[in-house]
Amino acid sequence: MSVGLLIITHNGIGKDILTTATDIFGGLPMQVKVISISPNGSYDANLETAIKQIQDLDSGEGVLILTDIFGATPSNIAIKAARGKNACVITGINLPMVVRVLNYSQLPLKKIISKATSAGHDSIIECS
């Protein structure tokens, strides 16, 4: 058993990040699902999908949900879907964050959360 990963983002952002991370790894060391939220999509249908994906991904170790912008529809859906479940939502998804999560997929949820947030912060570097 391992932690599941659910990515919920605007349009194809999450899918593109996951595709790139998968190319880096040559596969996926954990269960991952992606929900792409389109501007004209149904909030309720996307929420139902997110709840179902969390249930499918949780093998007993919990689910990490990565989303893009705090306060936008994808994060609102993620936060609402995670309520009452062994799931955590982190906003500000980026490629280094996903790579770090996949690299430490065997860790418990709380430790993966720490790895994900540190990767997100540490990968922002001013190159001048």
| pLDDT tens digits, one per residue of 23-52 | 999 999 999 999 999 999 999 999 999 999
Q: What is the CATH number of the domain that holds 9?
A: 3.40.50.510
Structural domain includes residue 122: no
- Sign of the torsion formed by the C-alpha atoms of 29, 59, 64 and 72: positive
Please report where in the chains the tokens 């418990």 appear, as a residue.
Answer: 108
Total number of domains constituting the chain: 1
Structural domain includes residue 121: no
Structural domain includes residue 118: no
Query: What is residue 68's predicted lDDT score, i.e. its pLDDT?
Result: 97
How would you class 103 by CB atoms within 10 Å of its CB: exposed for 0-12, middle for 13-18, buried for 19 or more?
middle
Structural domain includes residue 77: yes
pTM (2 d.p.): 0.96
Structural domain includes residue 125: no
Query: What is residue 1's predicted lDDT score, i.e. its pLDDT?
Result: 74
Residue 98 belongs to domain spanning:
4-111
